[in-house]
């Protein structure tokens, strides 16, 4: 890299070249690949895995039923995974999202049960999720706690509150199926669960927020070098709290969608998502150290993780194999990304 700077002499030496020299990276396709290595890698993992499944059991894996069943619950995982990419990029972690999901969905269920229109419940749930996210974020950021431990604690506290007040009783919402909100958020279009479209829309929104918005830029910079960010006038603490709020909003949406799919709110709603969703973020190609990440990769990671469970059973193995292959695919993708990700210091 010794001759990379063109001094005055270097510029004068080549004054007649009419065709401006084009950098190799200027080629759009080349730049696309180099800027999306991580998510493309995740896509390769998904495609290879699906190819193995299809080869192992073509009848099951060419029928739409299997895909429709995965696409019914996959959106819930996507609403959780995508905001977590932001929190990992900003250099924190949030393990409280399962309880936030349960709590926000609880508000939704209570309001619908009380006879309010579901849209009111949805708005209340999102506000609840944002408020819980703000509280968790403020706890971590302003008391300067380790986000790993503090959010783990908050997960137990919030879940504990739910269990104390409900005494473990579920809320059944059988009337939900007749509402327009259900039709808009949880019905089928030509066999495709409509919530999948919402999850895709949410992912596209998050892609722009992450890569093309001031907030996303600040998330990257704060995760990369908080000292520098603060020196350049970025409110580092606020960016961190806002990232926690975004996780809360995603968790609330996940909770509402999950409740609408099941017509039922369980006090344990969200619990099963903790580890698969965390795995999805990293399977998707976002590194653990902050500063960089990929939203599309996260969504692809969530898809991979969702298909593992169905896939293992689908190829004819017993359910006892699920955990083993779950872990194997997570480790293999991490090894793949490790080779793909360069950490600059």
Partner 1 sequence: MAERLIELRNIKKSYGSVYALGGVDLHVDKGEVLGLVGDNGAGKSTLIKILAGAVRPTSGDILVRGKPVHGWNAARSREAGIETVFQDRALAVQQSIVRNIFMGNEIANRFGFLDVEKEVAEAQRLMREIGFTSKVFTPHSIVGQLSGGERQGVAIARSIYREADLIILDEPTTALSLTETNKVFHFVRQVRASGRSILFIGHNIHHVYDIADRFVVMDRGRVALQTSKAEMSSAEDLIRFMEQTAHPTPAEAAQGAA
Residues that bind partner 1 (CB under 8 A): 1-2, 4-8, 11, 21, 23, 25-26, 31, 35, 208, 212-215, 217-218, 220-221, 224-225, 227-229, 231-234, 291-292, 342-345
β-strands 188-189, 192-193 pairing: antiparallel
Closer to partner 1 by Cβ: residue 14 or 65: 14
* Angle between helical axes of 97-113 and 64-89 (0-180°, round to 10): 120
Q: How far is the CB of 63 from partner 1 (least distance, A)?
A: 42
Select from 104, 295, 151 the least CA-distant residue to 213: 295
Minimum separation from the CB atom of position 229 to partner 1 (A): 7
Phi/psi at 264 (5° precision): -145, 140
Q: Which is nearer to partner 1, 89 or 333 (CB)?
A: 89
Dihedral of the alpha carbons of 277, 87, 220, 304, in degrees to the nearest 10: 0
Output the smallest distance, CB 278 to partner 1, in A: 22
Q: What's the min distance (Å) between Cβ of 188 and partner 1?
A: 33
Which of 219, 254, 198, 252 has its CA nearest to residue 85?
Answer: 219
Q: Which CB, 211 or 336, lies closer to partner 1?
A: 211
Q: Which is nearer to partner 1, 250 or 287 (CB)?
A: 287
> Taking each helix axis from N to C terminus, what angle separates 195-211 and 64-89, rounded to the nearest 10 degrees?
30
Strand 264-265 and strand 188-189: pairing?
A: unpaired
Nearer to partner 1, 221 or 295 (CB): 221
Q: Return d(Cα 298, Cα 286) in angstroms, integer.
A: 7
Q: How far is the CB of 289 from partner 1 (least distance, A)?
A: 9
């Amino acid at each position: 890299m010794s001759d990379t700077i063109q001094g005055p002499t270097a510029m004068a030496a080549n004054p007649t070249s009419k065709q401006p020299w084009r950098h190799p990276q200027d080629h759009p396709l080349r730049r696309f690949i180099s800027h999306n290595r991580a998510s493309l890698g995740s896509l390769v993992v998904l495609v290879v895995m699906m190819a193995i499944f299809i080869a192992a059991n073509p009848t099951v894996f060419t029928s739409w039923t299997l895909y429709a069943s995965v696409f019914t619950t996959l959106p819930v995982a996507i609403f959780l995974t995508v905001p977590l990419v932001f929190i990992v990029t900003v250099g924190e972690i949030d393990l409280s999202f399962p309880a936030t999901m349960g709590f926000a969905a609880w508000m939704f269920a209570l309001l619908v049960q009380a006879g309010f229109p579901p849209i009111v419940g949805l708005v209340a749930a999102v506000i609840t999720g944002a408020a819980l996210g703000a509280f968790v974020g403020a706890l971590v950021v302003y008391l300067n706690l380790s986000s790993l431990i503090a959010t783990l604690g908050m997960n137990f506290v919030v879940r504990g509150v739910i269990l104390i007040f409900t005494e473990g009783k579920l809320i059944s919402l059988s009337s939900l199926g007749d509402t327009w909100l259900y039709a808009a958020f949880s019905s089928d279009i030509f066999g495709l669960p409509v919530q999948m479209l919402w999850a895709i829309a949410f992912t596209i929104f998050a892609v722009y927020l992450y890569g093309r918005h001031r907030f996303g830029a600040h998330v990257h910079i704060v995760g990369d070098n908080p000292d520098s960010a603060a020196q350049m006038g970025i409110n580092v603490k606020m960016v961190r709290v806002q990232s926690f709020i975004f996780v809360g909003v995603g968790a609330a949406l996940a909770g509402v969608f999950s409740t609408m799919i099941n017509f039922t709110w369980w006090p344990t709603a969200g619990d099963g998502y903790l580890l698969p969703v965390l795995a999805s973020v990293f399977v998707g190609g976002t590194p653990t150290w902050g500063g960089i990440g990929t939203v599309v990769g996260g969504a692809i990671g969530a898809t991979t993780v969702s298909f593992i469970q169905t896939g293992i059973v689908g190829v004819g193995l017993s359910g006892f194999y699920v955990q083993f292959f779950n872990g194997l695919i997570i480790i293999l993708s991490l090894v793949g990304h490790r080779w793909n990700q360069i950490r600059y210091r």
